Structure formats: structure tokens, C-alpha cells
């Protein structure tokens, strides 16, 4: 495939606030500014953050801007922002996926937009990347809501295989703003340098991931990746400007941006 034919979905984790909070308007505006450079949104579904009001606001934003809408379920851990692994039974994990994704699907339908993909958040996402049982449980939950949903998962992870076993289309994800470890996992946020803030360096790295299927780990290991969608975290300071610069750099490199398309995932 020539470089000119390459394309990537740019997704952002948004809606990580409550509609009743004092800063809700400011948080929505920040999400809207980030969304201007994205092609799809992953909306918090009430586990680590978000409520019916924030879900509705982001569903309407996606509808009005022609963006793909996805669910961002997580462990029910607001105080830890869903970034602490919880020792839950598999049945409870499946139930939380069904309930959180189902709630966004219900609200979005009321606003005239469908939910097309699911991307777990934080510790749930990271746990599923290496734990096949958890990955299968999440995939089953997604399929129970709608077997046509696309499962977004870390490139090369157990979640990709689990999605296939559940009969789901999967989108291999890379991260534009996070460092990688030599085993292919994301560097822990507690480690210095885990969050990338240099948009020029991040853009050059993303271009290489898309074009060559390669990323260099924090330790210097060459990792093979498949880049169908790339994440930009909405809670990162300056994320809107970061995303704008990233998208401009992709355009300069001849790489297009387009929402997840099942036909392109095969």
C-alpha cells in the first residue's frame, strides 16, 4: 500500500466528567475543542466518570459533527479514575460492560445516533490486554449488547484474539501520547516519560507506526504494531492543541484520517 493510500482513525477519550459538576460547561468545551481534530469519540459510561447528561451531550456532539461514537466502559472506580485494577468476578465484569455500553447505546438512540465501537478504559483495558479470561469476558459483554460493535484493543494484545473468538470486528489501537514498554504494554503513568507531550516527536512516531508498523519502546526495543486507530487522551493538558498538531503532521505526511470502517479492518 502506498503512503498516499494510508489512513488512520483518531480517537479521543471524552465525557470524563459529570453534567452536574460546577465545571461541566468548561469540560464539555474542552472535549469539543479536542473533537475538532478527531474522527471518533470514546465516551465514559459512568464507571470511572460520566453520567447520563455527559453521555447525552457527547452523543449529540458526535451526531452534529459526523464523528463515530463509541463507549468507554471501565471498572466502577471513580476515586481512582478507573486506573486501579479491581479483583472482580468475571460475571461482574461482563455485567458492567453490558450495563455501561447499553446505557450509552440507549441514550445515543434517543438522540438519533448509533454507537459503533467499544474501547475499555484504564485498568480494565490494560488487564484485558494480557489476561485472556478477562479479554474473553469483555468481548462476550460487547457481543451481548450488539455483535456488530467493533472492539477497540491494544495492538497485538489478548483482546484482539478475544474479539475474534466472540465474532466481533476488532480495531488494533496504538497510542499517540503514551510510551511503550518492551513487552508491548503501555508504560505505567507513574513512570517518568510515560506521557508524551512533544507533538512533533509524537507525530513522527505515529507516522512510523502507520507507515512501517514499528514503534520503539522506552527501553529501545523495536515493536511491531498494527495501527487502525490511534488514541489521544482527553484528560491530558493541552490535548486539543496536541491533536490539532498531530492531524496536521499526518496530512503533511500524506496520511488521511477517517473513522473506523469495518470494511477496512479485514
What is the distance between the terminal CA atoms of the chain, rounded to a whole angstrom?
15
- Number of helices (H) and strands (E), helices first, in the chain? 9, 10
> What 3-state DSSP class applies to 98?
helix
Residues of the chain with pLDDT under 50: 1-4
Q: List 256's β-bridge partners, or say none.
A: 7
Q: Distance between CA 254 and CA 62 in Å, rounded?
A: 25
> So what's the pLDDT on residue 261?
75
Strands (DSSP E) contained in the chain are 7-14, 40-44, 68-72, 117-118, 150-154, 169-175, 214-216, 222-224, 229-233, 256-257
> So what's the pLDDT on residue 131?
97
Are 44 and 54 spatial neighbours (Cβ–Cβ below 8 Å)? yes
Q: Which ranges constitute the DSSP H helices of 112-198?
A: 122-130, 132-145, 158-165
Q: Distance between CA 40 and CA 68 in Å, rounded?
A: 4
pTM: 0.94
Range of the domain at 144: 3-265
> Nearest Cα to 120, choosing from 186, 207, 218, 47?
47
Query: Cell 484485558 belongs to which residue?
Result: 128
DSSP conformation class of 258: -
Are 217 and 181 spatial neighbours (Cβ–Cβ below 8 Å)? yes
CATH number of 21's domain: 3.20.20.370
Here the cell at position 75 is 471498572
Number of domains in the chain: 1
Amino acid at each position: 500500500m502506498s503512503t498516499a493510500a494510508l489512513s488512520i482513525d483518531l480517537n479521543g477519550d471524552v465525557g470524563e466528567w459529570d453534567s452536574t459538576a460546577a465545571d461541566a460547561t468548561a469540560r464539555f468545551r474542552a472535549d469539543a475543542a479536542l473533537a475538532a481534530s478527531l474522527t471518533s469519540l470514546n465516551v465514559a459510561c459512568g464507571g470511572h466518570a460520566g453520567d447520563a447528561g455527559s453521555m447525552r451531550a457527547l452523543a449529540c456532539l458526535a451526531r452534529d459533527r459526523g464523528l463515530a461514537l463509541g463507549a468507554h466502559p471501565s471498572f466502577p472506580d471513580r476515586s481512582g479514575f478507573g486506573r486501579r485494577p479491581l479483583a472482580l468476578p468475571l460475571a461482574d465484569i461482563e455485567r458492567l460492560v453490558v450495563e455501561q455500553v447499553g446505557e450509552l447505546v440507549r441514550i445515543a438512540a434517543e438522540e438519533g445516533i448509533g454507537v459503533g465501537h467499544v474501547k475499555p478504559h484504564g485498568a480494565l483495558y490494560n488487564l484485558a490486554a494480557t489476561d485472556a479470561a478477562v479479554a474473553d469476558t469483555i468481548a462476550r459483554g460487547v457481543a451481548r449488547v450488539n455483535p456488530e460493535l467493533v472492539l477497540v484493543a491494544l495492538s497485538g494484545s489478548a483482546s484482539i484474539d478475544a474479539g475474534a473468538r466472540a465474532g466481533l470486528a476488532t480495531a488494533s489501537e496504538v497510542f499517540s501520547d503514551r510510551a511503550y514498554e518492551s513487552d508491548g504494554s503501555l508504560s505505567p503513568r507513574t513512570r517518568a516519560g510515560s506521557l508524551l507531550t512533544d507533538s512533533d516527536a509524537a507525530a513522527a512516531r505515529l507516522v512510523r507506526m502507520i507507515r512501517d508498523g514499528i514503534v520503539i519502546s522506552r527501553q529501545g526495543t523495536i515493536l511491531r504494531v498494527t495501527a487502525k486507530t490511534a488514541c489521544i487522551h482527553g484528560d491530558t493538558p493541552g490535548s486539543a492543541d496536541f491533536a490539532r498538531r498531530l492531524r496536521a503532521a499526518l496530512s503533511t505526511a500524506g496520511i488521511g484520517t477517517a473513522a473506523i470502517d469495518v470494511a477496512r479492518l479485514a
